Amino acid sequence: MSTSHIAPFVKSSVTIFKDMLGLEVKSGTTENEGDSFASRGFSVIVGFTGGWKGRFFLDMTGATAIQLASTLTGEEYSSMADEEVLLSGAELGNIISGNAITDINNTYPGLNLRLTPPSVFAGDDLSMFNVRLNSCSVLIDTSAGPIKINVAVEEGKK
């Protein structure tokens, strides 16, 4: 799978981590991930369709998710299962993917990518499987902990 699919999502994520969350960020290398990966415990998922069909994931530990939520709302949370932590994850997924899709749609007119609403899953031994999709990951090292960006796109598309 071409790494050009993931680049706009990484760019958007890094911008949001820095500008919106005030994190220090060090981007890692792009890796091919295959069709499944083990989650760190907290995963935000946004689907897209149009010229490309696939999924974008933001994956992190519960501790990181709690920290990000607190930064957004100014409140303290004791568990990643707190509704506001999940909602904060969803909001971040929304904004990062929204910015990435804007970038992609403006770069490739006619691609017309559209996003699904975000969903969030958190738990133990969490794993993600995208049937028949190959994916690319970039692990971003942030001052709130590592955050993985994963983009899975249907084969045969640009």
Partner 1 sequence: MKGIKTDGTAIQVMSVDDSAISRKMIKKALEPEGFVVCAEAGNGKEAVELYPKIKADVITMDVTMPVMDGLEAASAIKKINPGQKIIMLSAMGDDDIINDAKSRGIDDVYCKPFKAPELIERILKLM
Partner 2 sequence: MDIKHINPFISGLLNVSGMLGLGGMQRTGISKREKLQTEHDVNIIIGLVGGLRGNVVFSMHEATACNIASTMMGGMPVSQFDMMPRSAICEMANMIAGNSVSNLEQMGSLVDITPPTLVSGKNMVSLISQVETLVVQFNSKEGPVELNIAIEE
Give yes or no for residue 106 binding partner 2 (CB under 8 A). Answer: no
Least Cβ distance, residue 29 to partner 1 (angstroms): 26
Contacts of 4 (CB under 8 A, 6+ apart): none
Nearest to 153 by CA among 96, 121, 95, 111: 111
Report if residue 94 touches partner 1, rule: CB under 8 A: yes
Tokens at 1, concatenated: 């799978």
Q: What part of residues 53-92 is at the interface with partner 1 (CB under 8 A)?
A: 69, 72-74, 84, 87-88, 90-91
Measured from the CB of residue 121, what is the shortest distance to partner 2 in angstroms?
Answer: 5
> Which one of residues 6, 10, 16, 149 is an interface residue with partner 1 (CB under 8 A)?
16
- Tokens describing residue 14: 């890094």
47 binds, among partner 1, partner 2, none (CB under 5 to 8 A by kind): partner 2
Choose among partner 1, partner 2, none what residue 119 binds, the Cβ cut-off being 5 to 8 Å by kind.
partner 2
Vertex 49: Cα angle to 45 and 51 (nearest 5): 140
* Residue 95, C-beta contacts closer than 8 angstroms, at least 6 positions apart: 16, 20
- What distances in angstroms separate CA 132 from CA 43, 104, 121, 129, 157, one per listed residue? 20, 23, 21, 9, 13
Residue 133: name the closest of 114, 153, 150, 149 by CA: 153
Stretch that binds partner 2, among 9-17, 102-110, 111-119, 141-149 (CB under 8 A): 111-119
Q: Per CB under 8 A, does 119 bind partner 1?
A: no
Per rule CB under 8 A, is residue 27 in the interface with partner 1?
no
> Which residues are at the interface with partner 1 (CB under 8 A)?
16, 19-20, 69, 72-74, 84, 87-88, 90-91, 94-95, 97-99, 101-102, 105-106, 115
